[in-house]
Amino acid sequence: MKLFWLETYKTFSRWRTYISFGFIALIVIMTEVVMKLSADEILYRMMRSFQKDFLIFGNVLNGWFITAFIMNSLHIHIPFFITLVAGDIVSSEATAGTMRLLLIRPPSRSKIITAKYLTTLFYTTGLVIFLALICITLGLLLFGHGDLMMNYQSKLRIVFIPEAEVPLRMLLAFTAAVWSMTVVASLAFLFSTLAENSIGPIIGTMAVVIVFLVLGNFPFDFFRMLSPYLFTTYMIFWQRFLDDPIPWQEIARSALILGLHNIGLFSIAFVVFTRKDIKS
Amino acid sequence: MQDLSHKEVVLRTVGLSKRFGKRWAAKDLNIEVHRGDVFCFLGPNGAGKSTTIRMILTLLMPTAGSIEIFGINLYKNRHAVLSQVCGIVEKPDFYLYLSAYKNLEILGSMTRSVRKEEIMEVLDVVGLKSRAFEKVKTFSHGMKQRLGIAQALLTEPELIILDEPTAGLDPQGMKEVRGLIKKLASEKEMTIFLSSHLLSEVELVATRMAVINRGELIAQGSVSDLLDKEPVEYSIQVSPLDSAIELLRKLPWVEVLSAEDGKIELRVEPGHASELNRFLVSNHIEVLSFYPHRTLEDFFLKITEGTSEI
């Protein structure tokens, strides 16, 4: 536990750690302000496909809707911000030469790597919670509240979630988002144990995430067959908590697959780190 | 020769070897460091000093052999052993974005809880107390080196391992670090294992030494013992010169090499230095100067057969 707090202290003593928080705040504030200024246009675009068939009352463009919209839009940005720390946490010690100082201390390598991994997960969780808080708080302040309308265009469905249920659904959705992002963190962490500079793990992780996302979204049979084997396919399982009814089985399966990825990636990082020779 | 049989062995390596690919960086090293030693590990660049130190500090896994510290197998009882050992490997690198104090607090607390007074005390010992709360990125190389020694001292280890502790320092900095090493050994009774390729430094601080070349141990013992095994060349100024030369040529353990400008160059078998002086004085030869050419550098160059890159 002591090692975990030491790692956390070091991580949060670096200004680099706060870049992600700063950019997320900037993106969310800019998006929500622009959306507020363009509210009529957005509402028109949202409704035009089904306004002939339905009569919709109430505040549709509310803070909850805006939060879900931003979450949908940031599935590339958040992984990038996560890799800034996850890809750096081990490799930066090698670059700076401080790895030598750490590893000649009594705590074993297994304890040190576990503490670093827990710190990575802590940072990832903190980043997603920060995103949730800023999205929801600003969204509710600027757009007010109401029922959450989710338009699943690919399934030709519109789902309305009563406002009373939305906070719990959002809590579950953000918890799932944290779980999804831990896989990106684990991948960046693994690359960080393999590299001796921070750029490689950051670029490497983003390359994997982007390539997997692209492959998973090609509308061809071959890529559809490939899709179940790409972890990015399961990373959007947080959206299922905003569906009705909630597909628990699908959620459990996605969560399990992502969890197995976490275990696998951390196990490889653990073995690499505990056995490697420190030559730098 | 100094009797070391009664001295506790603090560090012992047995058949310690490390191979990188096909190259042996260290091969079959059997080193013994005794309690209270300032033990100097000497060798040219690339001889295997850092590799050996990295194995002793668990940064590299040996290919073969074992390491015992305080009589305990290092790799089987890593935590217990390393609680009593500290060191610097190559250059002292710190978290540049943290203060000297915070660096020591983090590194020290990985061994045990450290109090603020303890941190300030070691910073005082190395002369950095006034800079305790400044970020390390503002420190010069010499200050970082001293901070490195401070972190090694913080948890009061019994054995300190220093890899090239004066590397990159100016003459004043080197003198300060040497003084600190001597002080630690004499006042705090710590055992110090240090590597160096600076022969002058070794002569000034070491009590015992080992010489490594191309990964193999080629000499080990006290500095004086190692040097006394070889004939030593002297330069002497005497009066009257001719009588002295005549007398010296009669001695079987002296070889007169040259005599010019009132100075005689001669080679003396080991252990006869004081006898030579007595002999000349008792034969009414006035000895004006008596200068040995015996240096660690000669010894080192001889046993490393010119492979040194120093």
Provide the pLDDT confidence category of residue A83 given band limits of 50, 70 and 90. very high
Q: Which of A5, A9, A102, A104 to mutate to test the interface with B (most CBs of B within 10 A)?
A: A104
User: What is the predicted pLDDT for the residue at B199?
Assistant: 74
Would the CB atoms of B60 and A279 count as touching at under 8 Å? yes
Provide the pLDDT confidence category of residue A139 given band limits of 50, 70 and 90. very high
pLDDT at position B310 over 60: no
User: What is the predicted pLDDT for the residue at A267?
Assistant: 98
CB of A176 closer than 8 Å to CB of A255: yes
Pairing of strands B208-213, B254-260: unpaired
- CA B63, B66, B68, B72 torsion: positive or negative? positive
DSSP secondary structure string for all residues of chain B: ----TTSPEEEEEEEEEEEETTEEEEEEEEEEEETT-EEEEE--TTSSHHHHHHHHTTSS--SEEEEEETTEETTTSHHHHHTTEEEE-SS----TTSBHHHHHHHHHTTTS---HHHHHHHHHHTT-GGGTTSBGGG--HHHHHHHHHHHHHHT--SEEEEESTTTT--HHHHHHHHHHHHHHHHHS--EEEEEES-HHHHHHH-SEEEEEETTEEEEEEEHHHHHHTS-EEEEEEEESHHHHHHHHTT-TTEEEEEEETTEEEEEE-TT-HHHHHHHHHHTT-EEEEEEE---HHHHHHHHTTT----
User: What is the predicted pLDDT for the residue at A279?
Assistant: 82
Write the DSSP symbol of residue A147: P
- Residues of chain B with a CB closer than 8 angstroms to some CB in chain A: 54, 57-61, 78-80, 82-83, 85-87, 89-98, 102, 106-107, 109-111, 151
**What is the tally of structural domains in chain B?**
2
Q: Cβ contacts (< 8 Å) between B78 and chain A: which residues?
A: 106, 108
CB of A71 closer than 8 Å to CB of B77: no
Domain assignment present for residue A23? The answer is: yes
Q: Which of B78, B93, B94, B114 to mutate to test the interface with A (most CBs of A within 10 A)?
A: B93
Tell me whether A106 touches chain B (CB under 8 Å). yes
pLDDT at position B261 over 80: no
Are B247 and B214 found together in one domain? no
Q: Cβ contacts (< 8 Å) between A106 and chain B: which residues?
A: 78-80, 82-83, 110-111
What CA–CA distance (Å, rounded) separates B127 from A4? 31
Domain assignment present for residue B276? The answer is: yes
Q: Which of B19, B110, B160 to mutate to test the interface with A (most CBs of A within 10 A)?
A: B110
Q: Nearest Cβ partner of A278 from B60, B83, B87?
A: B60
Domain assignment present for residue A280? The answer is: no
CB of B12 closer than 8 Å to CB of B31: yes
Q: Cβ contacts (< 8 Å) between A10 and chain B: which residues?
A: 95, 98, 106
pLDDT at position B144 over 50: yes
Tell me whether A60 touches chain B (CB under 8 Å). no
Q: What is the CATH number of the domain that holds B41?
A: 3.40.50.300
Would the CB atoms of B106 and A9 count as touching at under 8 Å? yes
Q: A73-82: per-residue pLDDT in tens?
A: 877 788 999 9
Would the CB atoms of B96 and A96 count as touching at under 8 Å? yes
Mean pLDDT across chain A, nearest whole number?
90
Contacts 24+ apart (CB under 8 A), B45-48: B45/B197, B45/B309, B45/B310, B46/B309, B47/B212, B47/B213, B47/B214, B47/B215, B48/B18, B48/B212, B48/B214, B48/B215, B48/B216
User: What is the predicted pLDDT for the residue at B222?
Assistant: 82
pLDDT at position A256 over 90: yes
Are B208 and B171 found together in one domain? yes
pLDDT at position B308 over 60: no
Domain range for residue A177? 2-275
Q: B49-89: per-residue pLDDT in tens?
A: 999 999 999 999 999 999 999 999 998 899 999 999 988 88
Domain assignment present for residue A50? The answer is: yes
Domain assignment present for residue B302? The answer is: no
Would the CB atoms of B109 and A6 count as touching at under 8 Å? yes
In one-letter notation, the amino acid at residue A31 is: T
Domain assignment present for residue B212? The answer is: yes
What CA–CA distance (Å, rounded) separates B239 from B280? 10
Q: What is the mean pLDDT of residues B199-212?
A: 83
CB of B210 closer than 8 Å to CB of B219: yes
pLDDT at position B254 over 80: yes
Mean pLDDT across chain B, nearest whole number?
85
Q: Nearest Cβ partner of B93 from A13, A96, A277?
A: A96
Q: Nearest CA to B40 among B229, B230, B198, B228?
A: B198
Domain assignment present for residue B181? The answer is: yes
**What is the tally of structural domains in chain A?**
1
User: What is the predicted pLDDT for the residue at A153?
Assistant: 63
Q: Nearest CA to A241 among A164, A187, A161?
A: A161
Q: Cβ contacts (< 8 Å) between B92 and chain A: which residues?
A: 101
Q: Nearest CA to B276 among B223, B233, B240, B226?
A: B233
Are B155 and B254 found together in one domain? no
Could you tell me how many helices (H) and strands (E) chain A has, helices first? 12, 2
Are B114 and B244 found together in one domain? no
Q: A25-72: per-residue pLDDT in tens?
A: 999 999 999 988 988 887 777 777 666 777 777 777 889 999 998 988
Domain assignment present for residue A264? The answer is: yes
User: What is the predicted pLDDT for the residue at B4?
Assistant: 46
Q: What is the mean pLDDT of residues B15-31?
A: 93
User: What is the predicted pLDDT for the residue at B305?
Assistant: 66
Q: A122-138: per-residue pLDDT in tens?
A: 999 999 999 999 999 99
Q: Nearest CA to B166 among B190, B194, B193?
A: B194
Are B213 and B267 found together in one domain? no
How many CB atoms lie under 10 A from the CB of residue B23? 10
Tell me whether A51 touches chain B (CB under 8 Å). no
Would the CB atoms of B78 and A100 count as touching at under 8 Å? no
SS3 A100: helix
SS3 A160: strand
CB of A88 closer than 8 Å to CB of A168: no
What CA–CA distance (Å, rounded) separates B14 from B31? 7
pLDDT at position A188 over 90: yes
pLDDT winner (highest mean) among A95-104, A183-192, A194-203: A183-192
Would the CB atoms of B111 and A105 count as touching at under 8 Å? yes
More confident residue, A48 or A4: A4
Domain range for residue B268? 231-293
CB of B38 closer than 8 Å to CB of B192: yes
Tell me whether A9 touches chain B (CB under 8 Å). yes
Q: A103-116: per-residue pLDDT in tens?
A: 999 999 999 999 99
Q: What's the pTM?
A: 0.85
pLDDT at position A13 over 70: yes
User: What is the predicted pLDDT for the residue at B182?
Assistant: 83
User: What is the predicted pLDDT for the residue at B6?
Assistant: 56
pLDDT at position B112 over 50: yes
Residue A197 burial by CB count (10 A; 0-12/13-18/19+): exposed, middle or buried? middle
Write the DSSP symbol of residue A148: E
* pLDDT above 70: percentage of residues in chain B: 94
What CA–CA distance (Å, rounded) separates B25 from B216? 8
Q: What is the CATH number of the domain that holds B263?
A: 3.30.70
